[in-house]
Structure 1
């Protein structure tokens, strides 16, 4: 992440504006990966909004009673009676509407995960429009119940305490907002079923990870002598992320440098070495509590290779005999090439996280260039030998990256190109078919050889 006082200067990837990355707490990302927080906050907000609106209704009746404007109170009672039927209908229908809509959506989501990858469910869970729609639906239902409970059977303008006119009007506005969000939600869910949109979402998330990481150090870090190790004491699972700011503070207070041994995305079990301590004794276990997050699946927060993992999974499923959709595999190769081209000239060594004085306190390794190239191409190459559309696109991708990558990073690209040629030669019998399958083409099958009509 670099020194906060001296943000790294490096061109932004993916065409996004460059901002200095900050070592934020993973709490925000963890909440985005849950589906309970936003609806719960919406229900609390509905209670507060209902309480405030009903209090305004009470103050309005009190003000009219002080002015002895009983005719106006009677008019409000008549309006409230007209709105009562609408509010009752809203309250009874909203919960049923929620159940039907989200049941259909879950079926659509199951179809999308079966055709692409089960990890597409994560896009649905993290979708802001999905959470916002569900939140407003539940809030509208609860608010309508509060309004119904506020109606009084007393119709005497002189003794009635509250007339829920303002609260009923707010409930109507919530219904209109629910309808607008429903349209947006349906559009978002339908886009989630389109593979091109899913691939684009994964790519944009991947570029956000790159921009958030900042620029790694080009060479190996110079660290003091190792003074011990810290092992993992929690549950077994995937290392999702680490609390960078907290680890930096712990290292500064104890005058040491911490180096994360596993990479983000590795599976760790109790007893796995987690941190190497340089320049002193390991900090106490109490100081390192809540600094490491272990879960059941990987996340985008600090995982540089997770996007390539998902794109590769989608391409492999598309190339399976059950699906047989090479066009989707080509779309994945387009985005894999885009991502690798963006990081081809970036240092991919170790990230140095510094304290306020600019001293390195935490070192975290990133996947290397060879790791990313293998992750993006190795498994797709193994499944693509019988699909000339995919082999042609893969040849074009490797040729393009060879032109963009520095000389020292061309070795893995050359290796994959050679292995692809050998695999096609072993699989395809006819020489003309082999030549066709190995001809670079950025569309897969869309460009003729030079000289062809």
Structure 2
């Protein structure tokens, strides 16, 4: 249930209409509340400030409401046009998958919601004041609220234009994606110093692995799409109640085809029912989400870098910024522990084995495509080698070193073409030699 609730809020956060809808309802509620307060205060003969004299003219009030409604609707249209233009530009420059970040921008949603909420407030107040006896009732609260809202909307418009101008800058986009990546890694990978979140280390018997290979029943997917999340708690409960063990061969972020094998299961019978239960606890959608996929934001940064290296954009500086952010997060990951892939029932028996995320996999996801598309850009190649050297010096395990060494060797091997200037070759070779020295030094340090 917890997984589904998190998934539900993740879907809501990526929808543009949620906050505008709430503010639209708030505008209607404020109109009803103000009319009620105006009539109630007048009925109780509460003394109002002298400012209420400005709201005694029915024609002036309706003119103000009409002008406000017309103007704010025009401003909302202009704001919406600016938003669409910025989304189009972002899609072309940073990739269509980055649109999710712009769609989930709370400030954009707030601005549009305030504008349409104000428009609805004006329309409702026009209706209310049309049937209100102004010689007996002074709409003091209604009009003061309108003036306050209009001033707030004008300020919002100024901030909105500034916000859009900043939001479409490459550095801002990279920073926003990187912040999401940091948040996801903090949630997914616990701190090594936190004893309460230590990963469960299990020695899985070889006979259990052989049983999966020899006797495990294949579990097939009943639908296609991106695996967004796995409801592990309920899966463990189902496996315990029906006495079976599951081993997934897919992980969140993978694309699944209908009738493709997604898991192996050790069970005595009722494999059809088990297959149905397993598919029920998989959240599959038309696009990937970051809730259980730490590589989601990594791929977004990689996409920004790859598009920046395309001939149409040719912006290596943006790609270099992405490399630095990716390196920063890999260094952060070295200080964390990977969550366990094994899930046990209350009696300590293995019930669920997930396909794990690995350090090597995240490093490859971070650098493979950038290396492939940036192999002819010497500045990008040198930045990659420099970043790999820095990461090697911070590596703490042999797994860290091996993953980074593979990337360094791949970069060195593709930059031996004759079209590369001699000086550039020497710079690359010099950096690669530095990396080899760092690898040897670090390896001897780890051995001691």
Q: Report the TM range for the smaller structure's normalisation.
A: 0.7 to 0.9
Among candidates 399, 406, 417, match of residue 408 of structure 2: 417
CA displacement at 1:322 relative to structure 2: 2.0
Question: Residue 233 in 1 paired to residue 242 in 2?
Answer: no
CA contact (8 A) 2:229 2:284 kept: yes
Q: Distance in 1 between matches of 2:304 and 2:115?
A: 33
Check if 1:119 corresponds to 2:97: yes
Count of residue pairs brought into register by the alignment: 414
1:137 paired to 2:115:
yes
CA-to-partner distance for each residue in 1:15-43, whole Å, 9 max, x for gaps?
xxxxxx99953111110111122222222
SS class of match (1:365): coil
Cα distance in 2 for residues equivalent to 1:177 and 1:220:
62
| Structure 1 segment 20-169 matched on structure 2, within 5 A | 25-64=6-45, 75=53, 78=56, 82-152=60-130, 157=135, 160=136, 162-169=137-144
SS of the equivalent of 1:238 reads strand
The equivalences for 1:280-429 within 5 A come to 291-348=281-338, 350-352=340-342, 363-405=353-395, 406-429=397-420
- TM-score normalised by the chain length of structure 2: 0.80
Deviations 1:252-272 (A, max 9, x none): 655655554421111113223
Q: Distance in 1 between matches of 2:367 and 2:51?
A: 74
TM-score by structure 1 length?
A: 0.79
Deviation string, structure 1 residues 177-203 (Cα, Å, up to 9, x no partner): 323333333233222211111111111
Determine if contact 2:237/2:345 at 8 Å carries over to the other structure.
yes
Name whichever structure is richer in helix by fraction: 2
DSSP 3-state at the match of 1:265: coil
Structure 2: unaligned runs, 5 residues or longer: 191-198, 433-448
- The answer to whether the Cα contact below 8 Å between 2:56 and 2:138 also exists between their aligned partners in 1 is no
Instruction: Provide the C-alpha distance between the structure 1 equivalents of 2:412 and 2:69, rounded to a whole number of angstroms.
Output: 65
Judge which range, 305-314 or 328-337, deviates more.
Answer: 305-314
Higher RCO, 1 vs 2 (CA within 8 Å, ≥6 residues apart): 1
- Per mean C-alpha deviation after superposition, the further-off stretch among 218-227 and 101-110 is 218-227
Q: Give unmatched runs, 5+ long, in structure 1.
A: 1-20, 442-453
Q: What is the rounded CA distance, in whole Å, between the counterparts of 1:51 and 1:350 in structure 2?
A: 54
Secondary structure in structure 1 of the residue aligned to 2:338:
coil
Q: State the partner residue of 1:211.
A: 186
| Alpha-carbon distance in 1 for matches of 2:279, 2:145 | 45
Out of 228, 242, 264, which is 2:252 matched to? 264
Q: SS of the residue aligned with 2:6? A: coil
Alpha carbons of structure 1 residues 357 and 91: separation in structure 2 relative to 1, 3 Å: farther
Q: Pairwise CA RMSD of aligned residues?
A: 3.5
Change (3 A) 1:335 1:395: same
Deviations 1:427-447 (A, max 9, x none): 544432211245549xxxxxx
Contact 1:395–1:438 (Cα < 8 Å) also in 2: no
Moved more, 106-115 or 78-87: 78-87
Whole-Å separation in 2 of the counterparts to 1:220 and 1:191: 51
